[in-house]
Amino acid sequence: MQPSWKALIQEIVAQLPAEFSLRDLLKHEADLARFYPANKHIAAKIRQTLQILRDQGMIAFHGDGRYTKRNVAPRYSPIIDFSGGENLTSRAQIARQVLETWAELNLFCFACDADALTRLTANTPVADFACAKCAARYQLKGKNGRFGGTIPGAAYKPLVDAIRAGACPHYVLVEYDERYSTVVFGTAIAGPHITEDRVIARKPLAESARRAGWIGCSVVIEGLPSVALVEPTSLDPGKVRADWQTIL
């Protein structure tokens, strides 16, 4: 599986001394090109990935292409960037793309200590992301607002086949608010908990539809245990009181 840019750059950074330079990373351009032979902008991708690592607090910039590693856990951001989807026409497509980008930058593996997941190609059945380290697979579901007890699934048969094979991916539910460009709640459900009786087939698409005869599904998630990834939180009262004094 193709590792994500973030995972590749992190691996290189891990081998560098606490202080390093952009040049140290650019030396690995040829190694990186082996993973992404079609990419003609490896250096730009290195810079972009370093910015992400900086935004997540893992490295600090000091100007002139000099960096230091910060020995802290990555900080993930709930902010969704809706500016990336201008070249797409449907709202659903835009939402899908920006959410996948958010997930690629912010999701980590729950099953092992990998800090990033790899986006799978668009035609991969059932799953959207996978962990390059432990091979855990994840399906991303997003909604502007809150999900109810039943969520829309994709194709019926591949999901049932995956469940029967004991390979149902974990579900990551992202409930966002487009007005604030932010994820409000993120929850994860374990794949093995999604049993076949929870998958409800929909009516086949009509003959007039582009994908006539295609059968989608709904997945009943009501009552399943979940863990929280993102949730609204309030600030420490001590900090609020201290800040209050500064504005008086």
Piece of the chain touching Zn ion by CB under 5 A; list 108-116, 147-155, 178-186, 209-217: 108-116
Residue 114 interacting with Zn ion (CB under 5 A): yes
Nearer to Zn ion, 135 or 240 (CB): 135
Region of residue 63 (phi > 0: left; psi between -120 and 50: alpha; otherwise: beta): left
Binding test (CB under 5 A) with Zn ion, winner from 136, 162, 174, 217: 136
Residue 188 makes contact with Zn ion by CB under 5 A: no
Rounded Cα gap, residues 2 and 130, in angstroms: 10
Nearer to Zn ion, 66 or 133 (CB): 133
Min dist. Cβ of residue 11 to Zn ion (A)? 15
The single residue among 13, 80, 131, 151 that binds Zn ion, judged by CB under 5 A, is 131
Minimum CB distance to Zn ion smaller for 52 or for 136: 136
Q: Rule CB under 5 A: is residue 58 a binding residue for Zn ion?
A: no
> What strands lie across the sheet with 59-61, from one edge to the other?
19-21, 66-69, 59-61
| Contact between 170 and 136 (Cβ < 8 Å) | yes
Minimum distance, C-beta of residue 247 to Zn ion, in the bound complex (Å): 45
Q: How far apart are CA 94 and CA 178, in angstroms?
A: 11
- Helix H segments across the chain? 5-15, 22-26, 29-35, 42-55, 91-106, 156-164, 237-247
CA atoms of 114 and 97, how far apart (whole Å): 23
* Part of the chain binding Zn ion (CB under 5 A), chosen from 118-126, 132-140, 166-174, 223-231: 132-140
Our finding on whether 200 is near Zn ion (CB under 5 A) is no
Provide the minimum distance between the beta carbon of 149 and Zn ion in the complex, in angstroms, as a whole number.
28
CA distance 111 to 134: 8
Q: Under the rule (CB under 5 A), what is the footprint of Zn ion?
A: 109, 111-112, 114, 131, 133-134, 136
